Amino acid sequence: MKPSDNPDRMGTEPLWKLLLEFSIPAIIMMIFNMLYNVVDTAFLGWALPDGSGVAVMTLATPVMTILMAFPMLAGQGGSALGAIQLGRGERDVVERTLGNTTFLLIVMAAVVALFAWLFIDPLLNLLATPDEIRATTRIFIQIICVGSVFQCLGMGLNNFLRVAGKPNLSLAASVLGTVMCIIFNFTFVILMGKGVPGSAVATILGQCCGMIPVIWYFIAAKTAPFHLKLSCCKPELHLIGQICMLGMASFAMQCAQVITSLIFNEVVTKYGALDAIGETGALASIGVAFRSMMITFCPLIGITMGAQPIIGYNYGARNWQRVLDIFKLAALLGTAFGLVFFAACHLVPDFIVSVFGLKGALAEYSARCVVIMSTFLPLVGFQAVGSNYFQASGQPVKAMVLSLTRQVLFLIPLYLFAPPVFASWFGFTELFGVVACVPAADLLSVVFTAGFVAYEVRKLRDLRDGKRTEVSRSKFAAKV
C-alpha cells in the first residue's frame, strides 16, 4: 500500500497538509455537486426566457433537497462511524459499516421512487405549484425521484473515499458526474429542445456517471484499505442504528431545509402576488439568489467534509490535541472562505445572477437579494465547522441541535412573522423583507453555536491534560 493510500496518516501527518489535501477536493466536489441543480436552472433559464423553467426549479428545490438528505444520512453517518472505527484499528468492522450503508442507500432510493408515483399530486399541492407550470413540475419531480438511486449510491458512498484516504478520487467522481450533466443538459435542453423533462433526464444520467467510479473503487481496487463485499451488506440493526444516529444531524438539516423551502415558497408566493414583480417573477428572482448563495455555502460544507474524517480518526485514537488543532484550523479556513465569498457577493452580484439567464428587472431584483443574503457569510463558516464537529466526534444529539438552529429555530419563525416588521423598519417591501430573514437567522445561529463550541473546547483541554478521563457518559458514545 502506498503511503498516500494509508488512512492511518490522519493521526501523524501535519494537520494543515491533511486539511488542505482533504478539504480542497471536497470543496470542489461540493461545488460540482451543487452544479447539478445550478446547471438545470441555468440551462432552463436560457432556454425558457419567460422564467417558467427557473420557477419550476424553485418549486422543486424542496424535493431535490430531500433527495440529498438520504445519501447524507447514510453516507455521512456511515463515514463518520467508519473513521472512528478506523482510528481504533477495526478495519473489518469498517467493511461491515460500508456494506450496511450501501444496503440502507438502496432501500431509501426505492422508497423515494415509490413515493414519487403514489403521492405526486398531494406533493404538488404542498409545494404551492401554480396551475400554469403544474404539469412540467410533475414530470421533473417524478423523473429525478425514480433515478435517485444513482445519487444515493454515488453521493452517499463518496464520503467513504475520504475515510479511505482518497479525497482526489472523491473529487474526480463528482467532477465527472457534473461535467456529464452539463453535456447532457446542453444536448437535451438546448440542442434537442426537450425543456424541463430533458433537464431532469440529463441530471440523473450525470449522477449515474458520477456513481460508477465510486462503486468500482470499493469493489475492484486492490489498494483500497477496505472493500465493499456482498457478505457485508447483510443488514445489522445495531450498525444501521449507529449510522443513522451519526447521520441524523445532516438528515435533519436537509429536512429542515425542505420545510424552510416549503414555507419560503408560500411566503414568496403570498408577498409576490402583492408586489409589482408578481408570483412567478418573485419565485424566479429570489430563487436564483438562493441558488447563488447555495454555491457560496459549498466551500464551507467542503471544509467540514474534509475535516470530518481527520477529527473522527483522532477522536477515536484519543489524540485530543490534534482534535483541538484540526477544529481551530477548519474554523479559520471556513471564516477565510466566508470573507472571500462575502466580497464577491457585494462586488459583483450582477455577474453572479447573470449566469442564470435572468434579464432586466428580474436580474436587478435578484442581485439586490444576493447582497442582503450574504451579510454574515464570514461568520457562517465558523457555524458550519462547529456544528459538523459534533457529528465527526460521535455526538449526534448536539450535532442535530446545532444543525437545526438556523433552519427551524430561527429562519422559519422569521419567514412567518418578520417580513412585515423588517419592511416597516428598513423601508422596503414585504417581499424584500423575506430576503432580510436570511442574514438575521445566520447571526442568531452563529451566537448559539459559539456557546456549544466554547464548552467542547474546555472539555477537550481537560481530556488532554488528564483532568477528565471519560469522553462521554452516553450509551451511544460507548457503543461507537
| HEC string for 264-314 | HHHHHHHHHHCCCCCHHHHHHHHHHHHHHHHHHHHHHHHHHHHHHHHHHHH
Between CA 30 and CA 41, with CA 36 as vertex, the angle to 5 degrees is 125
The CA distance from 54 to 59, in Å, is: 9
The CA distance from 31 to 207, in Å, is: 14
pLDDT score of 7: 62
Distances (CA, A) of 302 to 34, 87, 339: 11, 22, 16
pLDDT score of 477: 47
The CA distance from 124 to 116, in Å, is: 10
Contacts of 123-131 with CB under 8 Å at 24 or more apart are: 123/63, 126/262, 127/59, 127/60, 127/62, 127/63, 127/262, 127/265, 128/59, 128/262, 128/265, 128/266, 128/269, 129/59, 130/55, 130/269, 130/279, 130/280
The CA distance from 224 to 12, in Å, is: 20
pLDDT score of 346: 87
Contact 164, 225 (CB under 8 A): yes
- Domain spans of the chain, in order of start: 3-479
Distances (CA, A) of 240 to 160, 218, 244: 16, 19, 6
Instruction: For residue 231, give the DSSP letter.
Output: G
The CA distance from 288 to 13, in Å, is: 42
With 0-12 CB in 10 A as exposed, 13-18 as middle and 19+ as buried, what is 187?
A: middle
469 φ, ψ (degrees, to nearest 5): -110, -20
Q: What does each of the 480 residues of the chain score in pLDDT, given as a tens digit?
A: 444 555 667 777 788 888 888 888 777 777 776 666 666 677 777 666 666 777 777 778 778 878 888 998 898 889 888 888 887 778 888 899 999 999 999 999 999 999 888 888 888 887 777 787 788 888 888 998 999 899 999 989 998 988 888 888 888 888 898 889 889 988 988 888 788 888 889 889 999 999 999 999 999 888 888 889 988 889 899 899 989 888 887 787 777 777 877 788 788 878 877 777 777 777 777 877 877 777 777 778 888 878 888 888 888 778 888 889 998 898 898 888 889 888 988 888 888 777 766 677 788 888 888 888 888 888 888 888 888 888 777 787 887 788 777 777 888 888 888 888 887 787 777 778 888 888 888 899 899 998 898 988 888 888 888 777 655 444 444 455
Cell numbers found for residue 363: 436580474
The CA distance from 339 to 101, in Å, is: 36
Cell numbers found for residue 117: 408515483
Amino acid at 104: L
